Structure formats: structure tokens, C-alpha cells
Structure 1
């Protein structure tokens, strides 16, 4: 469950009904793939439907972007979701590692401009070329996925912050290119927005993650509170976990406050879209409390 909606669980489908609105995508984006020989992927509907199935909240927020930005966000989502699913669907660590290495090779090839039959990588290629999204952001995200494969516990909040930066903050940085933000002062706020949303996901999904053998809550916080960190779903109890979850939500609240300061750097429509996402996910934190 990386960047909200990008992870192994369809974010927000737990608490929101499916959207009844479709997202308009630009003609420019749907014809861009046709210029890549060997690409036999779908049209813009594929990317739109990928996002609709995975994240109702971000589908709704994306409606506030203009058509070309909507299409780019949908392509970015499809690539991230595909990569995440490739890792999350495999319980064997060695096989997950092999898949991760393949994802790195496929991503590198797409960013070099090589033709691909995978629509997810063609979409990444399209937005990298159209919006100048730096390649290092894509590989940083994959490094975050690697943390899920090999590091399933986090001792300190700083360790968890690094994870959240890689799997969510980096996506915020990629979004600054799609939104056309040139002021580098906005980058820290974009990173904070991604981290805030990811921290909220973690607070919400503790029990589900335990079922997958993962615990994202900082172990040091359990120790400081004299609590035993749960190791398995059967160890879960609200009394033992909620104090740490509440502290994580406080930490996320500070990130939300920082992220909102960055809205001043955004044009109107992107500012509305980002603000909507922050409000929706902030509401999840309120519901948890």
C-alpha cells in the first residue's frame, strides 16, 4: 500500500462508493503511444480504468486537473500500481527480488525511449518525455518497493520517513512536473504531501498489513510506551496498537500542515486537486481517531 491507491490494496474502496463520473483524457496523450513502434497497448481508457479500479479518492481528485494532466496522472498511477502489484503478489522473497530487478530493467528501457509492449511502461515513457520527469524519481520509487521486500519492520520514525519518501513523497515530486511547477521551493511541500498520505494509509491498515507479515509502525514507539509490538494478526489489540497509531496520526497531521503551505505554489486547478486529496485523506485520520 504505497502511495495512496498505488499499493497492494485498492485505497479508499473500503469507505467510498464507486465513482459515477468518467475522466476526460486528452487526444494528445492517447495518440502519443501510437508513435512508439511495437506498442500494442490500449487507448486512454485503459489508464483511466486502472485508476478508477484502484483509487476512488484519487480518481475524484484528478477530475480537477485539466485533460492532459488527468491523462498523465492516470499513466503514472498505472505504472506505479503495476510495479507494486508485481511485488505484492509474490510471497516468496527471492522471487519478489527477481521481479524487482526485472522492473528496474523494464523501467530503464522505457526511460531510454525503447519501444515496449507493456502499456504501463509506455505510459511512464510518455509522461517522462512530455513532462521531463527525472528518471531518478522512478528508481527511487522502486527502491521503496525493495524496502517492502527485504525490510518489513522499521525501528525508528526516521526509517519509516525514508520509506514514505520513497514510495509516496517521490510520487509527489513527480507530480510537480506534471503540474508544471518550476519553483524548487515547492519540492519539499510535494514530498510532505506524499508522506502525509502514506502515513495515513499505514495508520489505517495495521491489521491488514500484519496479515501480510508487515508492521510499519516504529518499533521504538512501542518500547517508549511500554507496549509489545504485534508480530501476527492474532497479536493485534486496540489497547496495544492505538497509542502508537494515534502518535503516527499526530506525525501525519504535521505533514499535512506542511503540505498545505505548498498550495500557494500551484496553479488554481492543480491546487484544488491536491487540496481535495489532502482533505480526503486527512478525513481518514479523523475517522481512525
Structure 2
């Protein structure tokens, strides 16, 4: 009995191997990721230098994915000017598809996603961890606005706290160590709250507002008018309120940092000082905080690195003024 020959496309088909990094060489992914962080975040780039070599490279790999997802979601390049915001759902679908492929060890044709697949395989990052970050992009795509302080904190969790959780795993924290992951989340929350305070006017120009609507109501500010010159006093008050939250979560983060290896502890404490300084500068500048962009100069970052080193050596963090009775569960939306 004769048999029909197999079609050529079936006979010659090869299953794509599942290889962390999509088959790209680790050295190439690390180098591309190093360039991405150098261009995309001067503060994070400076702090990452303090890690040991392996942790530093893994932080670069994770950052490359975060930066690329943000750029795809906002249709921008390296955090620059926002592009056309139509078809946002399609861009989010692409992020999820490429992330899933990367986690499966399949090639994505995008070095940043391949980099994520590599670091995820090396340290045990999960799809849920990635999805928590992507959910933040989903909120922006839906033109979401926080109504309450709790809403704002949930947003901060998705766009920064969840990244802090993944960074903790990169630094060697056991994914089952919920308390230390909670404190890593605190660091991300502090970072994002500082960013919100600094970027209030810039965000408004892009059609976004991350201040809770209830705060605006309390200040008797008309909708869409919070950045107008006649409301600068109220804006400065709300920025100061944000910085109070920064300092609350910054203090809690130091408790978790005390459990990290020395060089990771040094990097985290230095980064906390740098980002905390951004918020404190905004608070100090008051109504003039948005006349020009608030930043931390290079010499000051170096000084915070020295202070971070001393704190890491002593490793006796001051107890926060408030009892720590919160965690990641408080910032994730109720599944119901």
C-alpha cells in the first residue's frame, strides 16, 4: 500500500526550542539592557552600579523589559513624548503575548522581552508578577483616574511596587518571603509617589492626573484646574501630602533592605535616598516646584551613595514612626 508523501512544510518543520532568552546569547542581551538603562534612567543606572556583577546584570535585564513595555504602552521612545494613543488595547495585547512567549523561552524578536525571559528563568520571576506590572499600563490605557488615596496607592503598586517585588527576587529574596516582598513593594511605592509629586504639571499636559479626586475636592479645586497658577498653594499642599507618604514607605522599605546581602542593601538604601530627595526637594520648593523640573544632580547622588554605604555597613534601620500593618494585599484590587 502506498502512502502519500508528507507535505514539505510538515516534513521540514522543526519545533522551536524553548530556551531562556529566546536563543539569544546572554552577553548580547546584557549589553543591550545596559544601554537601555543608561539611556532610560540615570538614577536607576547609578544605583545599579552598586550591585555585585550578577545582580547588576539581572537588574539591567529586568529594567530593559520594564522600559520597553512602558514605551510600547505609551507609544513613545525611552520615556519621551507620548505618541498616538489610539489602539492602546492592541499594544497591551502585544505586551502580554511577547511576555508570555519570553516566559516560555520562545524567541520574541525583541531583545527586551528576550532579556526578561532570561532573567525570569534565572531567578524565578512569574507570569503573575509580570501581569501585576502590565495592569498598570492597562489603567493608563483606559484613561483611569484615582478617586481615593487607596486607588492612587493601587496604581503605584502596579507601576512601581510590583517592579520592586521583582527586583527583590532578582536580589535573591525567596518568592515565598512575603514580608520582605512587602517591604520591597514599599520602596517602589515611595519611588512612584515622588515621581507623581515631581510630574504633576507634566502629567496634566499629557492629559493625565494621578492625584486622588477626593484630594482635589477637599481643596475645592475645579475639575481639570489643579495646575492653574491660582491653585499653586493647594498644589503644594497636596505635593507635601504625597511626600509624607513617600517617607512612610521609605522608612518601611529600609526594614526589608536590612535583610539583603550587603551590596544589594547598599544599592537599595542609596536609591531610596535619591528618590526620596526628589520628593523632599518638591516639598521644599513649594509653589515654585513646577517652574522647572526637580532633579538630583550627580554630585548629590554620589553623596547619597556614600550615606547609603554607611547605613548598609551599620545595618540598624530606624523603626518607622508608624507600625507596619500593611502589605501587598492592601494594594492589589479585590479579585471580586
Q: Shared fold by TM > 0.5?
A: yes
- In structure 1, the residue matched to 2:258 is 264
In 2, distance between residues paired with 1:251 and 1:181? 25
Does residue 199 (structure 1) correspond to residue 197 (structure 2)? The answer is: no
CA distance, structure 2, for counterparts of residue 71 and residue 185 of structure 1 = 25
Residue 99 of structure 1, CA deviation: 0.5
> Superposition pairs for residues 1-289 of structure 1, below 5 Å?
36-37=22-23, 42-89=28-75, 92-182=84-174, 183-231=177-225, 237-289=231-283
Structure with larger Rg: 2
Tell me: CA distance 1:105–1:181, structure 2 relative to 1, closer, same or farther (3 Å): same
Q: In the TM superposition, what whole-angstrom CA distance separates every residue of 1:238-262 from its partner, at most 9, and x where no partner exists?
A: 2231111111111121111111111
Q: What is the distance in 2 between the residues matched to 1:256 and 1:233?
A: 27
Contact persistence 1:39–1:115 (CA under 8 A): no
Whether contact under 8 Å (1:93, 1:150) holds in the other structure is: no
| Paired residue secondary structure (1:265) | coil
- Give the direction of change, closer, same or farther, for the CA distance of 1:172–1:234 in structure 2 (3 Å limit): same
What is the CA–CA distance in structure 1 between the aligned matches of 2:49 and 2:62, rounded to whole Å?
A: 15
For these two proteins, the number of residue pairs brought into alignment is: 257
* Alpha-carbon distance in structure 2 between the residues aligned to 1:241 and 1:147: 24
Name the residue aligned to 1:4.
none
Q: In 2, distance between residues paired with 1:218 and 1:181?
A: 33
CA deviation string 1:83-103 (max 9, x = no partner): 101121265554111111111
CA contact (8 A) 1:211 1:233 kept: no
Give runs of ≥4 in structure 1 deviating > 6 Å.
38-41
Q: TM-score with structure 1 length normalisation? A: 0.83
Asked if structure 1 preserves the Cα contact closer than 8 Å seen for 2:92 and 2:138, the reply is yes
Q: What is the TM-score with the length of structure 2 in the denominator? A: 0.72
Structure 1 gaps, min length 5: 1-32
Contact 1:69 1:179 in 2 (8 A): yes
1:216-245 deviation digits (Å, cap 9, x = unpaired): 011101212333353586577422311111
What root-mean-square deviation, in Å, do the aligned CA atoms of Structure 1 and Structure 2 show? 2.2
